[in-house]
Amino acid sequence: MSRIGKMPILIPENATISVEGNMVHVKGPKGELSQELTDHVTLEIQDGQVEVKRKDESKESKARHGLFRSLISNMFIGATEGYKKELELIGVGFRATATGQNLELVIGFSHNVLISLPEEIKVTATGERGQNPTVVLESHDKQLIGMVASKIRSLRKPEPYKGKGIRYKDEYVRRKAGKSAAK
């Protein structure tokens, strides 16, 4: 049996869950999230906790069991606490400015890169003197914030020789030595 799938999910005090057919809705102070369930799993809600049960022992059901338990758990965390991703711009002249739902990046191209962000994401950009510019993304949807952060990072991935590029705040970039001088 799936180790993750069999763990019950405790429902936080300030969150509610409702199931309508195949749709699961979680509502909390940060927002509301929905997820569609497959036919392989069912939910049991009792005593302030949610349990994900599989319908049979097929390979597909076993694969979906832990997945949907994690997705529903992430929905509760997002609806009550929210998620936050921090990106760091490392390079000479790299800058970021956020105005509303638009993020403008100066990352070494001949033009500025303008990114329109979804309404569910709150963005802030800081650029203090002597520090690398930082872009902070906040949202209640873990999947959406991860996808947007990944898209921003893909514009200028950190390169291994000088370490320039856009990286996550806690990301480690392995450095290479480069070529040695010719004699």
Nearest to 116, CA basis, from 135, 126, 97, 101: 101
Residue 183 lies in a domain: no
User: Can you give the pLDDT at residue 82?
Assistant: 94
42 lies in which domain range? Answer: 9-80
The Cβ of residue 70 has, within 10 Å, a number of other Cβ atoms equal to 16
CATH value at residue 34: 3.90.930.12
Same domain flag for 72 and 89: no
Rounded Cα–Cα distance for residues 141 and 102 (Å): 19
Structure tokens at 64: 């979906």
Tokens 């709150």 label which residue?
122
Q: How do residues 73-105 score in pLDDT, each as one tens digit?
A: 999 999 999 999 999 999 999 999 999 999 999
Average pLDDT over residues 43-71: 91
Same domain flag for 29 and 53: yes
Nearest to 67, CA basis, from 21, 16, 3, 20: 3
Same domain flag for 154 and 89: yes
Structure tokens at 182: 């010719």
Rounded to two decimals, what is the model's pTM? 0.88
| Count of structural domains within the chain | 2
Residue 181 has pLDDT above 80, yes or no: no
Domain boundary among 63, 80, 97: 80
Same domain flag for 87 and 164: yes
**Phi, psi angles (nearest 5°) of residue 118:** -65, 160
Q: How far is CA 169 from the centre of its chain?
A: 13
Structure tokens at 121: 């994401």
Residues in the chain: 183
Mean pLDDT of the chain: 92
Rounded Cα–Cα distance for residues 152 and 147 (Å): 9
Contact of 32 with 17, CB cutoff 8 Å: no
